[in-house]
Amino acid sequence: MNEYDIVQWCDFVRGVTGAGEESEMREHLESDPQARRTVELLSRVRSVAEADNALSIPDYALRIVKAAASVPRAQEAAPEASAWRFLPFRIAFDSLRSPALAGTRDLHPSYRQVQFQTDEYVLDVRLELSPGPEGHAVTGQVLKLGDEPAPVAEIPVLLASQGRIVERSLTSRFGEFHAEGLPKKTLHLYALVGEDSCIAVPLEPEPEG
């Protein structure tokens, strides 16, 4: 009686075994309970794999997974070696540091509003500073600069603390996002505005100095 290894049974389940050998293996199954259990297990594995292949995974979900695995650590440890391009930015407005602008609504002291600007984007963030144990909350909007700033929809936004993702969001069709229950220290925000471009900004609840 022939003995077949796992590779041969995998080929049998996949239907790529030669006609002669397939016939012999079917006969073998009738007298070998262990072989039948092996084929049953491999058949279930094949069914699960085929079901997984049939799934349509949105691009933004893949980007979130990719970012969650690499963005915070890469940016803090070795940004030059990262697959992501971290866009240079400047702080155009910070309610904790700047005098109120004409027409700007005064914010309650428990809020901080910051506007970050790159060459192509504006990132407006409002950080709600919670005195209680529930953590901070962040609300924001991402706009692409042009003759008229346009909202950037369906891009991943990650919040991280000490190199660990603590919350993730996706911008709405208005470019807006929200997250809450966030840690109160070493909080960073990552907005993935392109296939390989990221706006990475610190969200410190207290001003320096």
Mean pLDDT of the residues in the chain: 81
pLDDT tens for 68-123 read 666 655 555 555 545 678 899 999 999 877 655 444 445 455 788 999 999 999 99
DSSP percent split of the chain into helix, strand, coil, nearest 5: 30, 30, 40
Mean pLDDT of 118-134: 86
Contacts (Cβ under 8 Å, ≥6 apart) of 105: none
Write down the pLDDT at residue 208: 44
- Identify the CA nearest to 8 among candidates 138, 92, 26: 26
Mean pLDDT of 140-161: 92
How many CA atoms lie within 13 Å of 201's alpha carbon, on the beta-carbon side?
27
Structure tokens belonging to residue 176 = 């807006």
**Residue 196 reports pLDDT greater than 90:** no
Mean pLDDT of 15-28: 88
Amino acid at 61: A
pLDDT band at 138, cuts 50/70/90? very high
pTM for the structure as a whole: 0.62
Is pLDDT larger for residue 117 or for residue 160?
117
Write down the pLDDT at residue 164: 82
Mean pLDDT of 116-141: 88
Write down the pLDDT at residue 209: 41
**Residue 1 reports pLDDT greater than 70:** no
DSSP code of residue 110: T
pLDDT band at 133, cuts 50/70/90? low
Mean pLDDT of 31-58: 83
